[in-house]
Amino acid sequence: MPLKLLVEEQELFKLCTAITIGNGAKTQFWKDRWLQGEAHMYIAPDCFRLAWRKNITVQQAFIDRKWMRGLRRISTTAAINQFVDLWGRLQQIHLSDSEDTITWLLTADGSYSAASTYDVQFVGSFADNRWEQVWQMKVENKCRVFMWLLLQCKLPTANRIIQRGGMADAICKLCHCREETTLHMVANCSYAKEVWRILAQRASITFVQISTPLSNVKDWWEHLNKATGLDFVHLRQVLTYGTWNIWKEPCRRVFENKAILADQLAQVILQDVAAYRQAHANPVF
């Protein structure tokens, strides 16, 4: 009997794994996070809604461009832009004869263990009102799970991997100056600070100034949430997608040997927020 997982548990599993594409036979084209750490259903949600074969594998999708079936019905500018972006990403993908592989990011050897899963789910969880607030944020499930892990410092940063006996470059991939920790990566890194500065300017956000550096991630998150300029729901969306995209940038640099500038990442963040708000806007009758 197949094991049924809650949506949050599925997102937790996906965030803690990395897929390396081989022949694409075991990876779902639309639903798995195999392209730059993202699933196509999130990269191109309008295209996903139109696609006829939503459970197609990557291998099947590349045969006669089957992933495009149903997309001739595209009729909106947003869907066209998503299609063009997705098309451009796929041009860089070349399948091989090897099998797809999944790496578990929470152990030194990349192998799944029940102990590491228990640790990331329960050990050190904080039981206060911040917990409920995370799950009530109006963002994608992947971002809620991500923030839950981040606020407990349970993301697989270099310092945690080394502490667990794994091999990793301890230096931050964004600034190349300091140790890569959760707090450093999203708050203290010079690259992250520049992203937040640009976001504040473009989204008309005013962050509260602090006199002394914050010492932990929870205090940093609460400080960000005191910003003004946007309604609380919109502000949290910008903060969450900002944190999520800053976290993904080192992965892009390590696994794809690519990097984007801080102002470019800020634009990606605002586009993510706009896409989510558009997709979840109340219909007007």
Q: Is 97 exposed, middle or buried (0-12, 13-18, 19+ CB in 10 A)?
A: exposed
Cα-to-chain-centroid distance, residue 100: 21
Q: Is the dihedral of CA 42, 44, 49, 53 positive or negative?
A: negative
The pLDDT tens digits for 159-217 are 887 877 777 788 999 999 999 999 999 999 999 999 999 999 999 999 988 777 778 88
Decide: pTM greater than 0.75.
no
Q: Quick one: pLDDT at residue 131?
A: 58
Buried b (16+ CB within 10 A) or exposed e, 200-232: beebebeeeeeeeebeebbebbeebeebeebee
Domain ranges of the chain: 17-90, 129-279
pLDDT averaged over 10-residue windows placed end to end, the chain, 285 residues = 46 67 89 78 84 90 88 84 85 87 65 54 51 81 84 82 77 91 92 96 90 83 91 94 92 80 94 89 53
> Please, which residues bridge with residue 57 across strands?
28
Query: Encoding tokens for residue 216?
Result: 């932990």
